[in-house]
Amino acid sequence: MEVYLNDNENRARGPNLMDFEVARDKGLIQKFNPLPAYFDHLRTLINSDLIADNPRRFVVDSMHGSGRGVIKSFLQGTGCEITEIRGEMNPGFGGVHPEPIARYLGPLAGAIGAGMGDFGLATDGDADRIGAMDERGQFVDPHRIMALALRYLVEQRGWSGAVVRTVSTTRMIDRLCKRYGLKLYETPVGFNHIADYMMSEDVLLGGEESGGISFKGHIPEGDGPIMGLLLVEIAAAMRKPLQALVDELLADVGPAFYERTDLRLHHPVAKAEMTDFLVKKAPAEIGGQKVAEVSALDGVKYILADDSWLLIRPSGTEPVLRVYAEGRTQEMVKALLGYGETVAESVV
């Protein structure tokens, strides 16, 4: 193994190149275990005693990523029965893209179906994102995880503060913030925009649709394990299956159904040009609902009268439209995505 450093003795071998063993012997590389300090910090934010009072039985899918073993190790001694799958180091991630979304979580659904746990948690390759599955093997997306976390932090812990979400994240968050009287910020896609608020204001919760979520007291960065542990705490505190928690959430501030797709264009189109086109050609209605608001914060977002929305974001690097849709019904989601497809086909 070789590492790249600026070292005069090794310049004959190429710029900034050094053997790993040499760098280690020189004291330029030091190994350390971050978990003890991380676990000490987690104990200030996750109520492990509450979890121990009502231990859960679940599956963790680490997707061969850096989160392997973390959730299971932290909950040792709580009485939780935890089965971890894809918990071995594998630089190729088992040939699967290590993204905790439904299409890549077949092994997790299989483990739940085989009776290994009552629900599932999944973290991605670098463990900064979270996904989940209920006892039916149904994917619980980050929109619902974030909304569950917000309800719990406010209603059970009594916490307050601003909430930050990206433009592509569920408006269930908006409805909850209105109920609780919390300030809400909407940002472009990317956790760096959320982090800016977390470092400058009193932020209760910040997150994005891809699964990067963090909350008050933690670092301004997405953290899959801590959000997975918070979900375990929520299930333990409420003494309900994950399916029931999601159903109650949707009955309370939903319904909300979400899908995303990427649509190929015939040729590359400048992002600014496409954004201008989408704003000028904004439809009067989609799926029978009036377009009540048009936002160009990041791409173009059509917000409908019933709080459904369609976001179309042109890629800045390839001829692709990224289309995000949240509807109050599955039929509305189809209508929204259908409109996005029409837009893609109209771009010559």
pLDDT, tens digit, for every residue of 202-230? 999 999 999 999 999 999 999 999 999 99
Q: CB under 8 Å, gap of 24 or more: what pairs does 225-229 form? A: 225/42, 225/67, 225/70, 225/71, 225/74, 225/123, 225/127, 226/42, 226/45, 226/46, 227/130, 227/145, 227/149, 228/60, 228/71, 228/121, 228/123, 228/130, 228/132, 229/42, 229/46, 229/71, 229/74, 229/75
CA distances from 297 to 127, 166, 168, 211, 340 (A): 28, 10, 11, 20, 18
CATH 3.30.310.50 fits 257-346, yes or no: yes
Domain ranges in the chain are: 1-31, 36-253, 257-346
For 223-280, where are the alpha helices, taking DSSP H only? 224-238, 242-253, 271-280
Round the average pLDDT of the chain to a whole number and report it.
93
Q: Indicate the range of 9-18, 183-192, 251-260, 266-275 predicted with least confidence.
A: 9-18
Looking at 30-34, 40-44, 244-248, 316-320, which range is the least confident one?
Answer: 316-320
Packing angle of the helix pair 142-155, 224-238 (nearest 10 deg): 60
Containing 332, the helix (H) or strand (E) segment is helix 330-346
Angle between helices 142-155 and 242-253 (to 10 degrees): 80
- Is 257-346 the same fold as 36-253? no
Question: Domain 36-253's class?
Answer: alpha beta
Could you tell me how many residues make up the chain? 348
Q: How confident is the model at residue 348 (pLDDT cuts 50, 70, 90)?
A: low
